[in-house]
Amino acid sequence: MGKYTFKGKAAVSVAAIAALALTGCANVGGGGGGEETSGGDNGGGQEGGVLTIAETNAFTGANPGYTKANLDINGKVATGTREGFMYVNPSQEIQRNEGFGTFEKTSDDPLTVEYTLNDPQWSDGNKIDKADVMLWWATSSGYYDDGDAEAKTGKDYFTIAGSTDILGHTDIPEFSEDGKSFTLKYDEPQADWEIAMDQDYLHPAHVVAEEAGMTEDELLTVLEDSPKGDPESPKENADLAKIGEAWDTAFNFTKTPENDKLLLSNGPYKIKDIVEGSSLTMVKNDQYNGEHQGKLDEITVRFIGDSTAQIQALRNGEVDIMAPVSVNKDTIDQVKEIDSVNVLQGQDLSYDHVDLNFGTETFKDKDVREAFLKTIPRQQIVDQLIKPVTDEASVLNSQMFVSSQGEPYEKATGSNEAQNLYGEVDIDGAKELLDGKTPTVRILYNNENPARVDSFQLIKESAEKAGFKVEDLGDPSWSEKLPDGDYEASLFGWVSPGVGTEVLSQIFKTGGGGNYNDYSNPDVDKLVDEARSNLDNESRVDQMVEIDKHTFEDAYGLPLFQNPGFFGVSEDVEGVEYQPNQDGAFWNLWEWSRK
């Protein structure tokens, strides 16, 4: 299964895709998880040694903040090679990373936050400095953008998977004389101010500058001197365009790049080599000076798309950890039978869903959208794919929340009428809405994921009973094709970073970085803006419930189910802890060790 991640540390893992990561976000801050049945000891293992982990998706780039590289595996690798001011623990709590730097709110009116770097550096010894911070802020703020999608004028300089809704409310950072501290002032409150500086968007400015054909000082000058973008009066900025193009494209590679500077890291590990479609190896970063020094000398990630093959590799000792995207009862049972392996189980903060593309002629017609959704056999999909794993599995009835989030999920499902609208397959109702029409629906999905193949077949068989012509666009490269929009429907998953609200802007707001299906509702846009600046959690949940209701009224698409999750961990490995969010087992890879 592929997952996208929601960005903004608020990946769907697309595979669902961050913000959300593809696997974008499904979470508002907390929730998910589950009971850990067994697992490695978090105690102190020995220093040194090597470890291999199996992952479903193949690595496609070292910039998971870029729309087309917002894949769960890219983000997982980034947890070992990128550090920032915070990370998220398995309880979905923000943990400050003072080895990188500190930050504190110094004023509520206006909201003002001061950051101080603790001398972090890149793996070539180059200090993270003012140029790095300015580039980091520029990508996430959209400060220079003057693009108007409707008028087709101007330009947005960085193609990010998330949104600019947090840092877009700040002016250019104010730096201390030595450049080690900087201050951000907001023009209105922001619920997600603690996660505003998302490390997925942090890249070495000196490398981006070189790729753009300039020096780091020249890049900094461009960022300091360029005016704020004005969509009503767009102005061409060739130097900014070069910087944006370099940031978007330079870090996209599926094998070891010739320019090893593209592999620079500021985390405990750095990428040593990448074998296309097969594996990626990280080694200790000898220039790392933070608090998360890795214990292992080397970590290899093997890309094994089939769960059965992952199990065989685990049984044979070829891998030490497996964390499949697609989980079924047979998979878990087989792993539990391996004497030398511990199993960690829980509920992932990810969910599978079908989205309808509003940008196509077929689904511009709401009646046709509703007709198609009436044919989706959600209960059958859950019964065949998920209930064998967990008896308590049920159809997911919210776009905003997953069922493990409890009260917010119950509040949403009590309001959105999802069960009444699409609780059961209604072929006759679909035929009535179609009124003799036989629309073609091309469905994009990952045809190397058995669960997605099964879901597609069940949807196809049901939809064709109502008169739809369903075409198979299954493709191993589905995640790269998702942003292009050349399909009527898509079947994939989102996985959440576990905190924050960026999912709202990323996926449901007009023009959002993960709004691949061209959804647009002015009332939703307004609610998104209000929710993201709302500091009261209870009323913010109410706003999200209202957004959720709109998506069902608009026949946006349908959530299918929350994914169960598990890790299989060799008993001679310590430090692995179940993490339901988009980072998965990688969230604390610096603690992994051999007994």
pLDDT of residue 22: 55
Tell me, what DSSP letter sits at residue 121? B
**Cβ within 8 Å of residue 42, ≥6 positions away:** 574, 575, 577, 591
Which burial class, exposed, middle or buried, applies to 553 when counting CB atoms under 10 A from its CB (0-12, 13-18, 19+)? Answer: middle
pLDDT of residue 392: 83
Give 370-427 pLDDT, tens digit per residue.
999 999 999 999 999 988 888 888 999 999 998 888 899 999 999 999 999 999 999 9
Residue 325 tokens read as: 């995207």
Give 286-329 pLDDT, tens digit per residue.
999 999 999 999 999 999 988 899 999 999 999 999 988 777 77
- pTM exceeds 0.85 for this model: no
What's the domain range around 103? Answer: 94-249
pLDDT of residue 21: 59
Answer whether residue 415 is part of any domain.
no
Give 206-252 pLDDT, tens digit per residue.
999 999 999 999 999 999 999 999 999 999 999 999 999 999 999 99
> Does the pLDDT value for residue 514 go beyond 90?
no
Place of tokens 């056999």: 377
> Does the pLDDT value for residue 564 go beyond 50?
yes
Answer whether residue 181 is part of any domain.
yes
pLDDT of residue 44: 61
Answer whether residue 278 is part of any domain.
no
Answer whether residue 140 is part of any domain.
yes
Answer whether residue 210 is part of any domain.
yes
How much is the mean pLDDT over the chain? 90
> Does the pLDDT value for residue 30 go beyond 60?
no
The domain total for the chain is 1
Answer whether residue 450 is part of any domain.
no
pLDDT (mean) for 563-580 = 93
pLDDT of residue 20: 57
> Does the pLDDT value for residue 25 go beyond 80?
no
**Contact predicate 307/324, CB 8 Å:** yes
The CATH number of residue 205's host domain is 3.90.76.10
Beta partners for 295? none
In angstroms, the CA 416 to CA 372 distance is 18
Answer whether residue 55 is part of any domain.
no
3-state secondary structure 351-381: EEEEEECCCCCHHHCHHHHHHHHHHCCHHHH
Answer whether residue 205 is part of any domain.
yes
Please count the other Cβ atoms lying within 10 Å of the Cβ belonging to residue 282.
Answer: 24
The four Cα atoms 233, 234, 236, 241 give a dihedral, to 10 degrees, of 150
pLDDT (mean) for 489-497 = 86
Cα 243 to the chain's mean position, in Å? 24
Helices 238-249, 130-141: crossing angle, 10 deg rounding:
90
Give 518-562 pLDDT, tens digit per residue.
999 999 999 999 998 898 889 999 999 999 999 999 999 999 999
